[in-house]
């Protein structure tokens, strides 16, 4: 039951993008096309789950054992950067079109505060490794869900008669705000 509560809470109630406002750059930058959003979601999911596992193990078995917990943030950033480089190399070999579509946003996963935020929150919430992985995967699913929904809405908005001054970023921000309000409707489902 604990894992189900973690999943529901991370995906819907405390959505990493819409509730905690982490990962806004790729959320707004890659949400033009659904295909690109799906690819970015997959890449973020892979990096986030791997980063959660690796950073948890480093925190537990290296930083705490050596008494250098103050090095947590810089260590986590270095681990995430290495993982993103690995994903970038893999995507370049496996799916060059997706690699091209993600463009500059793929290296930006390195600085995606959602990935770093989840890694730090796993430690702060005192989760064990399995709970941390469930929490990380759930946050990745929540990030992907929000990203894909916004991409679908933005594709439809491209076909709509939007006033000239509202096209592009302004209508995207308004849409993201309304989407965040919709996700707020899930508040109260779990404590």
- φ, ψ for residue 17, nearest 5 deg: -90, -50
Give one DSSP letter per residue of 1-27, joined into a string: -HHHHHHHIIIIIT-TTTTT--SHHHH
- What's the half-sphere exposure (Cβ side, CA atoms, 13 Å) at 50? 17
Please write the tens of the pLDDT for every residue from 68-104: 999 999 999 999 999 888 888 888 898 888 788 777 7
Average model confidence (pLDDT) for the chain?
89
Number of C-beta neighbours around residue 125 at 10 A: 11
Strand, helix or coil for residue 59 = helix
Give CA–CA dist 16/118, Å, rounded.
8
Please write the tens of the pLDDT for every residue from 5-44: 999 999 999 999 999 989 888 888 877 889 888 888 888 8
- Name the pLDDT band for 124 (thresholds 50, 70, 90): very high
Residue 23 contacts residue 47 (beta carbons within 8 Å): no
């Amino acid at each position: 039951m604990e894992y189900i509560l973690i999943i529901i809470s991370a995906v819907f109630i405390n959505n990493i993008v819409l509730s905690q406002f982490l990962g806004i750059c790729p959320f707004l930058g890659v949400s033009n096309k659904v295909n690109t959003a799906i690819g970015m979601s997959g890449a973020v999911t892979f990096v986030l789950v791997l980063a959660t596992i690796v950073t948890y193990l480093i925190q537990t078995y290296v930083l705490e054992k050596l008494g250098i917990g103050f090095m947590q943030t810089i260590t986590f950033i270095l681990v995430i950067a290495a993982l993103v480089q690995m994903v970038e190399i893999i995507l370049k070999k496996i799916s060059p079109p997706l690699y091209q579509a993600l463009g500059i946003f793929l290296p930006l996963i390195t600085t995606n505060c959602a990935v770093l935020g989840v890694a730090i929150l796993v430690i702060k919430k005192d989760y064990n490794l399995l709970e941390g992985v469930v929490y990380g995967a759930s946050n990745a699913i929540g990030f992907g869900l929000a990203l894909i929904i916004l991409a679908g809405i933005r594709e439809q908005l491209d076909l709509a008669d939007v006033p000239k001054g509202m096209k592009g970023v302004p209508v995207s921000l308004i849409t993201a705000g309304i989407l965040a309000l919709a996700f707020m409707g899930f508040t109260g489902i779990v404590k």
